[in-house]
Amino acid sequence: MDFMVFQYPMITVQACLDGILLGILFALIAYGMALQWGVMNIINIAQGDLVILGGYIAYFMYLYGIHPAWGVIIAPIIMFFVGVGIYKLVINKVVDRDLFISILATFGISILFMQLMNFAFGADVVLANSGYGTTFLFDSAVVLPNSKIFSAFVSIVFAIGLVIYMKKSKLGRAIRATAQNARAAKILGVDTEKVYAATFGINAALCGVAGALISITFTIHPYMGLPYTIRSFMIVIVAGLGNLPGVALSGMGLGVFEEFADYILGTEFRIGAVFLLLVLILVYRRFKLSRKREYLK
Amino acid sequence: MSKNIILYAAILVFGITAPFIFPAFKVQLSILCVLIVLALTWNIQGGEMGYNTFGNILFYGLGMYLCASVQVGMFFPLAEWTESGGEKTFVHTPAQFFQGMAVGLVVAAVVPTIVAGLIGYAILGLRGHYFAICTLGLGVAAGEISGGIEIIGAGQGFTTPPFPDVGGLEARGEFFYLLSFVALVLTFIAVRAIYSTRFKLILNAIRDNEDKAEAMGIQTMKYKIIGWMISAFFCGLAGGIMGGLVGYIDSTDVAFDGREMGVFMVLMAILGGKGTLWGPVIGATVFHIFKEGFWTFFLGWQYVALGVLIVVIVIYFPEGIMGWLREKYPERFGEVVDEADRKAQVELK
């Protein structure tokens, strides 16, 4: 254990800034999960693996000499079709079924993706070097890589763009209508099948953006997907479905929590702390609701 | 009824003689016994109670670590043992080994039961997918945390005490087979006994409609916790045996292996048919044969196969083998089928 955090206030500032920038990325992934959870009522365990796949797209562009930042444009386009493909093959058969069936089916997809990525890209930890340099604040006491600032900025742009798209466009209206009442939407002539496919595709595209940013900012590895799924699930249940400012805030909160857990408990307990936090949040909500004789739905 | 007794006797005789008939498959048969135990215990939650858990792996891994730690810690300093890794600085005498194993298995079964009671009180109030994700989180968290604890080997793993020098490899195989087979028989008897009582009906009531069950005056929380504790007891036992059998414990690859064992137990129960007594047994057997075939002939592609298998089973075969049989031969399951009724239905079509 290391209590540097309390002795040097600048480390606290560093951890907070890192955590917020990281949390914005988490919030982007969680936004995708909230979207498809709300519309299709499916919990996608493969969410994190879609993120990592997006990361590998950016990484390969970097390997072939294209600047990885272009991955932010290319990865979502590819991932959109990957998402639609997954929907057509698997998800459309589990949409109306028991939620556990969808959890298990996407768990299978997750294992499949993990292993395929392991074959295709190798089991090494990789990162795409953006060459953006670093920013020093407060007499070099706080070090911020510019790539982190870039990734947070891009995430915000994409999130705002999507919110506007969902509000204004025809497809966005159809998606929102389906989320409210799929049957009524069907009666009024919305092709819900197409809406579901588009929703899953958009979710995958968001994952692609986030993945590309993660490959620039942090590192990627074929088996790193599940923690991202758990983080986004946690953010969604804390914020609630359809509460976008809540998603952004709880994402940042989670990021800050993780950075502090990293400093205080040590890096080896970082993922463990995330998963334990999930359990604690669920238990807290359960006890809070059980006083009113209710439960999480 | 007499047919059943003959069936059980045949299985028992086969189980006892199997390691001598197929001496090459002793380890495989022991693993099969452990898998069946895990599938049977998962079925108490997922099948009968409707609480689909990914978290039974927690008790399995806990049992594994506890059994090995007790077995070592009773006679030698634990920290130095794990420090030395696989090197044999300390050697168990046969008497020490078996004593340690016996005490270790008891601890491995009892402590997870208590843990299940405590955790169950906290999280069994969650329902449906929240419960599933929460237990998934618990399993992964346990793996990550145990991978950071020095005294049980941290990242480098924990070598369980090697089998003492009596009878060599043959005796080791027979000993662990016997142990796992006894565990299987105990589990099966216990589960069968449970399924013939009111307790099972209560679990089914919770599965079908928990609110109504509560309204009928059933203290659902109490029964859910008891159900989970029974699962944990046998999961811990299975874990303890498996730890000795494998001989090496790693936090994320052997003990809290949510990606393998944690999914396997769910898959086996679903493949065989949730909510039936024999389903998990059949499912585990079929799954194990399939898995071993894949692991041998398609080495490296096994996880791809596993992923595809999960998707296919879940989408196209959610009722499992028993469910399919039940649809095909309802008479065998004690469902009364009226001949005239059936004819009328056929004519209607």
The domain locations on chain A are 4-290
pLDDT 10s digits, A133-171: 677 777 666 777 788 888 888 889 988 998 898 889 888
**Average pLDDT along chain B:** 82
In this predicted structure, the answer to whether residue A2 has a pLDDT above a threshold of 70 is no
The confidence score (pLDDT) of residue A1 equals 47
Q: Is A90 on the interface with B (CB under 8 A)?
A: yes
**Residues 44-83, chain B, touching A (beta carbon < 8 A):** 52
Alpha-carbon dihedral sign for residues A145, A149, A154, A155: positive
Place of tokens 């041998």: B296
Tell whether domain A4-290 is in CATH 1.10.3470: yes
Which of A43, A97, A231, A279 should be substituted to probe chain B, the one whose Cβ sees the most B Cβ atoms within 10 Å? Answer: A279
Q: For residue B148, what is the DSSP state?
A: T
The confidence score (pLDDT) of residue B25 equals 79
Percent of chain A with pLDDT over 70: 95
Question: B135 and A282 in contact (C-beta within 8 Å)?
Answer: no
Q: Is B189 on the interface with A (CB under 8 A)?
A: no
Question: A53 and A79 in contact (C-beta within 8 Å)?
Answer: yes
Place of tokens 């920013």: A135
Which of B210, B310, B319 should be substituted to probe chain A, the one whose Cβ sees the most A Cβ atoms within 10 Å? Answer: B310
Question: A248 and A94 in contact (C-beta within 8 Å)?
Answer: no
Nearest residue to B189 via CA among B20, B58, B11? B11
Q: Is A295 on the interface with B (CB under 8 A)?
A: yes
In this predicted structure, the answer to whether residue B14 has a pLDDT above a threshold of 70 is yes
Tell me which of A191-195, B36-40, B191-195, B260-264 is least confident: B260-264
Question: B46 and B53 in contact (C-beta within 8 Å)?
Answer: yes
Q: How confident is the model at residue B232 (pLDDT cuts 50, 70, 90)?
A: very high
A115/B308 touch (CB, cutoff 8 Å), yes or no:
no
Q: Is B125 on the interface with A (CB under 8 A)?
A: yes
ipTM beyond 0.85?
Answer: no
In this predicted structure, the answer to whether residue A293 has a pLDDT above a threshold of 50 is yes
Minimum CA–CA partner of B122 in chain A: A283
Between A40 and B80, name the one with better pLDDT: A40
The two structure tokens encoding residue B310: 């999960």
CA distance B314 to B319: 9
- What sections of chain B are H helices per DSSP? 2-21, 26-43, 56-73, 78-84, 94-123, 128-146, 168-195, 198-208, 210-215, 220-246, 261-272, 279-297, 302-316, 320-328, 339-348
pLDDT 10s digits, A241-272: 777 888 888 888 888 888 888 888 777 788 88
The confidence score (pLDDT) of residue A215 equals 87
Tell me which of A11-15, A271-275, B46-50 is least confident: A11-15
The confidence score (pLDDT) of residue A84 equals 92
Radius of gyration of chain A measured on its C-alpha atoms: 19
Distance from CA of A7 to the nearest CA of B (A): 25
pLDDT 10s digits, B299-334: 777 778 888 888 888 888 878 888 888 777 777 766
B311/A43 touch (CB, cutoff 8 Å), yes or no:
no
Place of tokens 């990242």: B155
Q: Is B218 on the interface with A (CB under 8 A)?
A: no
10 Å CB burial of residue B17 (0-12, 13-18, 19+) is exposed
The confidence score (pLDDT) of residue B346 equals 65
The predicted model scores a pTM of 0.85
A109/B314 touch (CB, cutoff 8 Å), yes or no:
no
Which of A90, A107, A296 should be substituted to probe chain B, the one whose Cβ sees the most B Cβ atoms within 10 Å? Answer: A107
Q: Is A233 on the interface with B (CB under 8 A)?
A: yes
| Bridge partners for A134 per DSSP | A145
Q: Write out chain A residues lying below 8 Å of B300, CB-based.
A: 119
B307/A113 touch (CB, cutoff 8 Å), yes or no:
yes
Which of B144, B307, B318 lies closest to A269 in CB terms? B144
Determine the average pLDDT of the residues in A194-211. 90
Q: Is A88 on the interface with B (CB under 8 A)?
A: no
Residue ranges per structural domain of chain B = 28-259
CA distance A21 to A17: 6
A279/B304 touch (CB, cutoff 8 Å), yes or no:
no
Q: How confident is the model at residue B2 (pLDDT cuts 50, 70, 90)?
A: low
Nearest residue to A25 via CA among A200, A157, A144, A164? A157
Q: Write out chain B residues lying below 8 Å of A103, CB-based.
A: 52, 129, 132-133
φ/ψ of residue A134, rounded to 5? -130, 160
The confidence score (pLDDT) of residue B155 equals 67
Minimum CA–CA partner of B260 in chain A: A111
pLDDT 10s digits, B104-160: 899 989 999 999 999 988 888 888 788 888 888 888 888 888 877 777 776 677 777
Question: A175 and A39 in contact (C-beta within 8 Å)?
Answer: yes
Identify residue A2 by its one-letter amino acid code: D
* Letter string b/e over residues B263-276, b meaning 16 or more CB atoms within 10 A of that residue's CB: bbbbbbbbbbbbbb
Determine the average pLDDT of the residues in B168-174. 78
The confidence score (pLDDT) of residue A205 equals 92
Determine the average pLDDT of the residues in B43-57. 86
**Average pLDDT along chain A:** 84
Place of tokens 């811990």: B236
CA dihedral B154, B243, B279, B52 (to 10 degrees): -20
